[in-house]
Amino acid sequence: MRIRLALCAGAAALTVCAGTVTASAVPGSPDPRPAAAPGAPDPRPAAGHAAAAARPDAEALRAALDGVHRAGVPGAFAEVRDGARTWRGAAGVADLATGRPVRPGLLHRVGSVTKTFTAAAVMQQAEQGRIRLDDPIGDHLPDLVPGPRGRTVTVRMLLNHTSGIADHLRPAFPSLPGSAASIDENRFRRFRPAELIGMGLAAAPAGEPGGPVGVYSNTNYLLLGELLERVTGTPAEEYITRNVIARAGLRHTAFPAGPRIRGPHSRMYESFHGLLDPPRDYSVYDTSYVGPSAGLVSTMEDLDRFYAGLLAGRIVSPASLAEMQRTGPVIALDGSTVRYGLGLHRLDVPGCGTFWGHDGSAWGAGTVSFTRADGRRQASYAVNLQRWNAVDSTGVPVPHPIDGALAALQREALCGDGEVVAPRAAAGRR
């Protein structure tokens, strides 16, 4: 179980790790049929919407958000949409020292939610014929991925995490999980993408390229960023800004130019399982260690607008969206298995429907954003504390009240029936 903490140490990927916000199935009966192999259509039907979410219940949502704050998160904020109705709320403080209240419209580091933006940019290039999803990455980046691996790993494998390339974050933060020193040492460090990619390629492979089960790796999306630059002649962050962020009509979403966020935002408190006590603020941090994998700053309103546009076919074509929604099993950072497509995570919520989106974590900042398949129900929420669970002597995370409070918020935000369903045993997948 100590391996689990080592894998979760990087803090920027699909955040089914102890003490990070995560999208997880709400209690119910899962579909017993086997899931599709990677790249094949999922044979399981989307959960029906007949009993799906009602209009947002403002009182219940406010109570659920307050519950997250009372459980120990300094500040939490959210936006929930159902058709033409929108609810926004916040609970707690943005700054523990001053007591400044948190507000719904704050900017926030959204971590791996960035991956959906990068995947959409790659799909646009595929639509234009500049790349093919089954191109070997070595055809485009022979200098970065030479030899047999470059001839075997394809663009699709990078998008759906079946490349077998290891995550670079563990070697980039070598003191973890035993010491948090690397987090401070890298605060103002400017990493080069090639440097980080080299770390991932030098590490032991996470699996065989194209295997039946993927392994989540941020290195995959750094390579996709380099691919975008190679085929467009424009840095990935600039291309994504012009062709994804602007196309979606987002006004408060950007890749920060340096370690500081420009605009109103919360402090971002990192505990790293008790190694940082009290939790330390990392709202000022150079995110070059993740770049187009997990570097975006956004608002909950912008995230809802982005996923609405994506699922409506306004950012990529319907054919490209269908490719993005072809899911396969991917092993997340804590060893659990999620349904993952090309930059999209599928979440089936019994009685509420099938949702698409992503979750993300940066040092001190957690985000979840999901939209129901019919586009009607959306929920995005953020917290300014991460890795709150302590661990026992064997490295297993100890359940924390925040776990159950976030599960209750997710149920209310996605299902909106005004009734909070009790979560399963706390921290079961975290």
Give bridge partners of residue 270 from the DSSP assignment. 280, 386
Residue 339: give the domain boundaries.
2-111+235-415
Q: What is the pLDDT of residue 394?
A: 85
Residue type, 390: A
Is 194 a domain residue?
A: no
When divided into structural domains, the chain yields a total of 1
Half-sphere exposure of 106 (CA within 13 A, CB side): 32
Is 330 a domain residue?
A: yes
Question: Sorting pLDDT into bands at 50, 70 and 90, what band is 425?
Answer: very low
State percent of the chain over pLDDT 90.
81
Is 282 a domain residue?
A: yes
pTM, two decimals, is 0.89
Is 143 a domain residue?
A: no
- CATH number of the domain to which 243 belongs: 3.40.710.10
Is 193 a domain residue?
A: no
Question: Sorting pLDDT into bands at 50, 70 and 90, what band is 56?
Answer: confident
Is 267 a domain residue?
A: yes
Structure tokens at 118: 């990068």
Radius of gyration from C-alpha coordinates of the chain: 20
pLDDT tens column, 208-257: 999 999 999 999 999 999 999 999 999 999 999 999 999 999 999 999 99
Q: Is the pLDDT of residue 426 over 90?
A: no
Greater model confidence, 15 or 109: 109
Q: How far apart are CA 55 and CA 64, in angstroms?
A: 16
Q: How far apart are CA 140 and CA 150, in angstroms?
A: 9
Is 251 a domain residue?
A: yes
Q: Is the pLDDT of residue 417 over 70?
A: no
Beta strands in 208-364 (DSSP E): 214-215, 269-270, 280-281, 297-298, 328-331, 337-340, 345-349, 353-362
Is 35 a domain residue?
A: yes
pLDDT tens column, 353-391: 999 999 999 999 999 999 999 999 999 999 999 999 999
